């Protein structure tokens, strides 16, 4: 036990001690209990209480990655490397490696998006990377989305994935592949399915992290170029 004080062993904990009004009054007079500690705290009527301070609205802007964002990206990803099996990475990626990845992706025209709060903090990111490592796969990408822990459950994941789909479409990508770890993956699978990804395969026990075997769920979305609206001929 750190610090000073007294503690009862678990088996000998006397539990809470309740005083009736007479005993409490006597204890107050003898100094055993402070009167203000015994008396119930008075509260204003509900109509006289100040209105609770509303929580600030959750807002963000989705935009292409900028070099200044990379330390935030690394911080977000490193959290999942150390605490989750959603990524099979076991060692945090260095900032230099993130800079290299971003440069390669930019050269290849691969979208890399970030969601930024009004204060400039990166809340999450989504990016596409080449699939398969062969030249013939050049129209196919693998997608990744990671959110800051405090930004989950607020619709940010869907917004980022929607933006990534459109960015890939504009970049001429034809196929998007999402490889999802099968451990506690229901929410991620459902999100991808709502945006048109279809499950195309499963593999079991292909990863080993945190002392257990993990499988993957592969989902795919085909992209088509949006048809431009017909423009009326000039008179």
User: Could you give the CA distance from residue 83 to residue 77 in angstroms, rounded to a whole number?
Assistant: 10
User: Could you give the CA distance from residue 212 to residue 204 in angstroms, rounded to a whole number?
Assistant: 12
CB distance 160 to 112 below 8 Å: no
pTM: 0.75
User: Could you give the CA distance from residue 60 to residue 100 in angstroms, rounded to a whole number?
Assistant: 26
| CB half-sphere exposure, 176, CA atoms < 13 A | 32
Mean pLDDT by 10 residues, the chain (235 residues): 42 47 51 50 77 80 98 98 97 98 97 97 98 95 97 96 98 98 94 98 97 98 76 46
Q: DSSP E strands: which ranges in the chain?
A: 61-64, 112-116, 122-130, 140-147, 175-181, 198-209, 212-222
Among 113, 114, 118, which Cα is nearest to 57's? 118
């Amino acid at each position: 036990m750190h610090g000073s004080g007294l503690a009862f062993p678990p088996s000998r904990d006397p539990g809470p001690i309740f005083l009736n009004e007479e005993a409490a009054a006597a204890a107050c007079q003898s100094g055993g209990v402070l009167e203000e500690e015994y008396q119930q705290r008075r509260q204003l009527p509900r109509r006289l209480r100040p209105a609770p301070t509303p929580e600030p609205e959750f807002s963000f802007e989705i935009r292409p990655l900028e070099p200044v964002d990379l330390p935030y990206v690394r911080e977000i990803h490193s959290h999942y490397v150390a605490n989750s099996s959603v990524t099979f990475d076991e060692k945090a990626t260095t900032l230099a490696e993130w800079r290299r990845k971003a440069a390669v992706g930019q050269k290849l025209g691969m979208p890399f998006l970030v969601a930024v709060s009004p204060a400039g903090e990166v809340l999450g990111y989504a990016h596409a990377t080449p699939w398969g490592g062969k030249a013939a796969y050049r129209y196919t990408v693998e997608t990744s989305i990671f959110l800051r822990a405090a930004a989950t459950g607020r619709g940010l994941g869907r917004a980022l994935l929607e933006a990534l789909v459109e960015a890939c479409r504009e970049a001429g990508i034809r196929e998007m592949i999402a490889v999802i770890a099968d451990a506690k993956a229901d929410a991620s699978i459902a999100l991808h399915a709502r945006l048109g990804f279809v499950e195309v395969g499963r593999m079991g026990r292909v990863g080993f992290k945190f002392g257990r075997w993990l499988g993957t769920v592969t989902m795919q979305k085909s992209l088509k170029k949006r048809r431009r609206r017909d423009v009326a001929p000039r008179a």
